[in-house]
Amino acid sequence: MTEATGTGARLARLRERLDALDVDALLVSAPSNRRWLSGFTGSAGVLVVDARRARIATDGRYHEQAQRQSPEFELVPAPLRSVASFVAPLLDGLGGARLGFEPGGLTVAEHMEWVGAIEGLPAGDRPRLVPAPGAVEPLRAIKDAAEVEALTVAVYLGDEVWAHAASCLRDGVTEREVAWEAQRHAYEHGADGMAFETIIAAGPNGAMAHHRPSDAAIAAGQPVVMDLGVIVGGYRSDLTRTVCVGEPDEAFPRVYDAVLAAQEMAEERIEAGMTGGQAHAIAATVLAEAGYGDRFTHGLGHGVGLDIHEAPRLSADSEDLLADGQVVTVEPGVYIPGWGGVRIEDQCVMEDGRLRVISRAAKLDLEVGGGS
C-alpha cells in the first residue's frame, strides 16, 4: 500500500518515529495532522496509528468519505459523539500500550473524556495515555512533491488576488473595501477560503503588524500594507506587498529599500542546515545597519502548509533546522508608530539547500493606482 508520496509514505514516516516519541501508538486528533496523515478532509474524527495498524474513527456522516479518502485506515464507526461509544474497537489490542496523545489537539475536557472512557475498558484492555507533543508537526514541515505543487497553485492564485486588490487602490477607498475586493476575487477564481483574515493597513494602521481592515479611507501618499492568502485544496498561500497610493513621502523609499534589501539578502543567503534563528539574523542585520533594528518587531518567517503558521519558525530564538522540502515565508518588516509600516513577504521552498521563491507578485513598482 505504501507509495512514494501520499499518505502511505507519511504513515511510514510517523511509524519510524514512534520509538523516539517513546510511545507504542499515537492518537491523532489535531485536524491538520489528521488530514495530513490520512487524507481525510472531514471535520470530525480521530486516528490511532501503531506499528501495524492505522484506524480512523468518525461518525456516520463521514463513513463513506473516510473509506474513500483514507484507504490505508480501518474505519471504526463512532455511533455517538461520546468517546465511550467507540473507544473499545478503536483501541482494541492496545492493552498495556503507551498511547501518545497530542496536547495541542485535545481540549482539557476532551482529555478528561478520553481518560474516563479508557478507565471504562476492562483492566487488561487499557492503554496508558501519555502526552506526545510535536509528534506529527516536524514531519509535516517537510513537504512532498504533491504538497509543493498544491502550495504553488495556492501561491499563484494569491498573487493574482493581490494584483486585483492593488488595482482597486485609489485615494479615498477604504481598507475594508479593498479587503472585500480581494476576497471576492479569490472566491470567484477558485479559492476554497481565505488563508487568514486579509490585512489591508494604510498609513499609521500599517504600524500594527496585524491590523484589521477598518472603514478608514486610504489617502494619497500613505503606505498600504497588504497581507493576504488563499486556501486551495487545503493548502495556504501567504503574501505581503506594501504599496503607496500616489506620491510617497520621502520616508517611504528609504524604509522600503531597507526592507527589500533585508528580504533579498535573506532569500539569497538562507541555506539548509541553518537554524531559524540564523535565518532571521540575516535580515535583522541588514535592517539594523539601515537604522531600523528596533523597528523589526516580529520573526522573519514561518512554515506554511495546511496551516498558515507551522514548522519551522524563522525567528530570533528559533532552533528549528532548515531543510529541503520546507515551505517558508520570508517577511521582514519595519513599523514606525504614527507613520506606518512596510512589510514584504514571499513564500519560498527549500530545494537543493537553497530557497526558491514561489511568489510572483510584483515588488518593484512603488506606486500602484495613483491619486488624482
d(CA 152, CA 260): 22
Least separation in angstroms between CB 226 and Zn ion: 9
* The pairing of beta strand 239-244 with beta strand 230-232: unpaired
- Asked if residue 329 binds Zn ion (CB under 5 A), the reply is yes
What is the sign, positive or negative, of the torsion defined by CA atoms of 202, 206, 208, 212? positive
Per the document, the length of the chain is 372
Least separation in angstroms between CB 256 and Zn ion: 17
Please identify which residue in 102, 147, 177, 238 interacts with Zn ion, judged by CB under 5 A.
238
Number of residues that bind Zn ion (CB under 5 A): 5
Least separation in angstroms between CB 274 and Zn ion: 19
Measured CA angle at 204 (ends 162, 248), to 5 deg: 65
Least separation in angstroms between CB 232 and Zn ion: 16
**Around Cβ 6, how many Cβ atoms within 10 Å?**
15
- Residue placing its CB nearer to Zn ion in the complex, 24 or 227: 227
d(CA 174, CA 197): 16
Least separation in angstroms between CB 327 and Zn ion: 11
- Asked if residue 242 binds Zn ion (CB under 5 A), the reply is no
Please identify which residue in 159, 227, 320, 346 interacts with Zn ion, judged by CB under 5 A.
227
Q: Which residues lie closer than 8 Å to 365 by C-beta, 6 or more apart?
A: 243
Q: Which residues lie closer than 8 Å to 119 by C-beta, 6 or more apart?
A: 126
- Kindly indicate which of the ranges 165-173, 279-287, 326-334, 352-360 contains the residues binding Zn ion, using the contact rule CB under 5 A: 326-334
- Kindly indicate which of the ranges 37-45, 101-109, 128-136, 328-336 contains the residues binding Zn ion, using the contact rule CB under 5 A: 328-336
- Asked if residue 347 binds Zn ion (CB under 5 A), the reply is no
- Residue placing its CB nearer to Zn ion in the complex, 42 or 303: 303
Contact between 242 and 344 (Cβ < 8 Å): yes
> What is the binding site for Zn ion (CB under 5 A)?
227, 238, 240, 329, 345
